[in-house]
Structure 1
Amino acid sequence: MRTTTPLMALLLLMLSLAAAATGMPIASSSGQIRSEEETRRMYAEWTAQHGSPITNEEEGRYEAFRDNLRYIDEHNAAADAGIHSFRLGLNRFAGLTNEEYRAAYLGLRLRSGAVGDLRKPSARYEAADGEALPESVDWREKGAVGKVKDQGRSCGSAWAFSAIAAVESINQIVTGELISLSEQELMDCDTSYNAGCDGGLMDDAFEFIISNGGIDTDEDYPYKARNDSCDANKRNRKAVTIDDYEDLRMNEKSLQKAVSNQPVSVAIEAGGRDFQLYKSGIFTGTCGTDLDHATTIVGYGSENGTDYWIVKESYGTSWGESGYARMERNIKETSGKCGIAMLPSYPVKNTVPTGERSSA
């Protein structure tokens, strides 16, 4: 079996960059040159697996795919040389330009001054200097994380998926029962600030669930990936309740303490090309703090000296590591990688209502 040495990978990277500049056939991470025929075949296979992306002329779709494939091969050649700790791949977004991806698949609607203005600050999880915390936590292993869901095409509903994931988890931690809940109810009925497919904020979603006295299951109130009118009957079916929610200050140590106790909703900047095409590994790619997406941290750990967060996405299981990303943790900036420590919040469930099964 042929292997790629670091020197070969560096040479390959140089060839790929030269090819990109001249329009030549692109070099694959195995050291081969991709012909037009091979690229077309890969596009046909990708389309068969993922279906057509956002409707556009076929040649435009292929050109977006071809350009992404070139970018992926260049990045992975550098990863083979030890330059990157994560790999890119032909995931579900490989047929979209970055502009199309950003327009269709994010979903955060920030209030003016939302960052730094904690609506419900709490000292519950503020970490003291030198406080000992678990080295790693994975709430999936504890049965407290629901299935990976899919927000669908052209619907910026990530805020609803982030909030629902956190509520599903805290309900399981308190009651011992993992119940899949309805994002669509939030999209249809939580309209005082949140705007369904046009974005929203997790704090407002938590406030809706509290004021409504609970939220329905997604089996009873299924997801449609579009805005619809609120179903009052289903809104009154309250499968799970929460008592409150709280916000965390911008501090990765406190965020770690919070996640050691429960999954936490966070906002990140996810509009970059590296995040769009992420496949595996610890994401250390280029990103800023222009928060444009919502997600949920369900654990953390370390690998080869690099700390990471385990992030549950709402892009289905064909994106990333079966629907998850590992994002770099404990960086120098207090905002965290891609702003992950800037806007954390979590639901609070203190009691087990009559009829719910206790984990005790």
Structure 2
Amino acid sequence: MQKTFLVSGLTLLLTSIGSIQNHQPDDVSLAFQEFKKKYQKSYTIPEEIFRRVIFRSNYEKIQAHNSDKTQTYSVDVNQFTDFSQDEFVAIQLSFIPPSGWKPSDEEVIQVGVEPNDSVDWRSKVRVKNQQWCGAGWAFSAVGAVEAFFKIKKNLDYSLSEQYLIDCDRTKNKGCLGGHPDLGIKYIANYGIYSESAYIYAGDRNQVCTQLYGIHKIKNSGVQSIEKTGLKAAIKEYPITVSVDATNWNHYKEGVFNNCNKNINHVVLAVGYDSKGNWIIKNSWGTTWGEQGFMTLKAGDTCGVTQMAFKAI
């Protein structure tokens, strides 16, 4: 699913058609064709002109960023490069913080771990792809439960985000956003099917289906984690964290540090390095970032310490 946001981009489209047709550099034209092929993009003729305008703008920003030697991370063309910034935020980032919640600017010092300690659970987790469904909350919740069983119980499950999207509708809203703690709690109360039994469709309108005779997996519950205790918790197994991912769309590799604390996405914290930088597992597939992962600057970068939960 792709939204076009044609109204907001109409002025840009009309003023840029001539430029794109007559003056677009060859490298951008070639990059756009390679992009369409790699990500299987198909447009109507009017939309292709519109998408080329957006792609060109993003491509030039990517080149400028990577030419800046002061940057601590690099960016690259990926599945989001034909999206405007507004589209990216509207489609991918739909986490809604609890009513009345505000981020804290308090300095956070992690406790319960040794200086220069590190942990890395990347080999124990799966990178999945939420596609065009804003259900990062469900992928984070399921990832936390999968990691709990894998590391604590030595049970390797691939569980169904689609079941959680379809069925956990008390306060969660499927592809329109939700809360990872409620997702983990739902799994503890009602169980969850395997991914192979309840296949991912990325659709917010599916009806909740109970597969009678198919075994469900249950964890015991969910536990909130204090801001100072993230590293100690991650040392046991990965946890859900809520972040401001507004500027994450073209991240490729390196230590990311370009964000505020406007929480709008949920991911899995799967480790930290000896400098305290966080290792993050996202749900945008392996073509994004470091094979689906990100290195996030130490501290409360992107609000990573503000709201965390673990499966128990």
Structure 1, 131-140 or 84-93: larger mean CA deviation:
131-140
Alpha-carbon offset, residue 316 of structure 1: 0.7
After superposition, residues 33-52 of structure 1 pair within 5 angstroms as 36-52=25-41
Q: For residue 7 of structure 2, what is the aligned residue in structure 1?
A: none
Q: For residue 203 of structure 1, what is the aligned residue in structure 2?
A: 181
Asked if structure 1 preserves the Cα contact closer than 8 Å seen for 2:116 and 2:276, the reply is no
Asked if structure 1 preserves the Cα contact closer than 8 Å seen for 2:163 and 2:198, the reply is yes
Q: For residue 215 of structure 1, what is the aligned residue in structure 2?
A: 192
AA matched with 2:131: G
Do residues 151 (structure 1) and 138 (structure 2) align?
no
Q: For residue 264 of structure 1, what is the aligned residue in structure 2?
A: 239
Please identify runs of 4+ aligned residues in structure 1 that moved more than 4 A.
53-56, 114-117
AA matched with 2:233: A
Deviations 1:28-71 (A, max 9, x none): xxxxxx96222111110111101227887111101111111111
Asked if structure 2 preserves the Cα contact closer than 8 Å seen for 1:206 and 1:245, the reply is yes
SS at match of 1:40: helix
Alpha-carbon offset, residue 239 of structure 1: 3.9
**Distance in 2, Cα, partners of 1:77 & 1:35:** 20
TM-score by length of 1: 0.74
**Distance in 1, Cα, partners of 2:210 & 2:27:** 53
SS at match of 2:223: strand
Deviations 1:317-340 (A, max 9, x none): 11111111111113xxxxx11111
Q: Which has the higher helix share?
A: 2
Asked if structure 2 preserves the Cα contact closer than 8 Å seen for 1:282 and 1:327, the reply is yes
Q: For residue 58 of structure 2, what is the aligned residue in structure 1?
A: 68
Q: For residue 273 of structure 2, what is the aligned residue in structure 1?
A: 301
Pick closer, same or farther for the CA change 1:133–1:35 going to 2, 3 Å: same
Structure 1 unaligned residues grouped into runs of 5+: 1-24, 26-33, 118-125, 331-335, 349-360
After superposition, residues 21-32 of structure 1 pair within 5 angstroms as none
**Distance in 1, Cα, partners of 2:203 & 2:83:** 20
SS at match of 2:65: helix
**Distance in 2, Cα, partners of 1:174 & 1:321:** 26
**Distance in 1, Cα, partners of 2:257 & 2:249:** 13
**Distance in 1, Cα, partners of 2:292 & 2:241:** 16
AA matched with 1:36: P
Alpha-carbon offset, residue 116 of structure 1: 7.6
Alpha-carbon offset, residue 113 of structure 1: 3.1
Asked if structure 1 preserves the Cα contact closer than 8 Å seen for 2:94 and 2:177, the reply is yes
Asked if structure 2 preserves the Cα contact closer than 8 Å seen for 1:148 and 1:316, the reply is yes
AA matched with 2:61: Y
Q: For residue 304 of structure 2, what is the aligned residue in structure 1?
A: 340
**Distance in 2, Cα, partners of 1:148 & 1:71:** 27
Asked if structure 2 preserves the Cα contact closer than 8 Å seen for 1:65 and 1:96, the reply is yes
Pick closer, same or farther for the CA change 1:180–1:77 going to 2, 3 Å: same
Q: Find the structure with the greater CA-based Rg.
A: 1
Alpha-carbon offset, residue 115 of structure 1: 5.6
TM-score by length of 2: 0.85
Do residues 87 (structure 1) and 51 (structure 2) align?
no
Asked if structure 1 preserves the Cα contact closer than 8 Å seen for 2:189 and 2:218, the reply is no
SS at match of 1:276: coil
Number of equivalent positions: 284
Instruction: Provide the alpha-carbon RMSD of the alignment.
Output: 2.2
Q: Percent identity?
A: 30
AA matched with 2:255: I
After superposition, residues 94-243 of structure 1 pair within 5 angstroms as 94-114=81-101, 127=111, 131-132=113-114, 135-141=117-123, 144-145=124-125, 147-153=126-132, 155-212=133-190, 214-227=191-204, 228-233=206-211, 237-243=214-220
Pick closer, same or farther for the CA change 1:112–1:104 going to 2, 3 Å: same
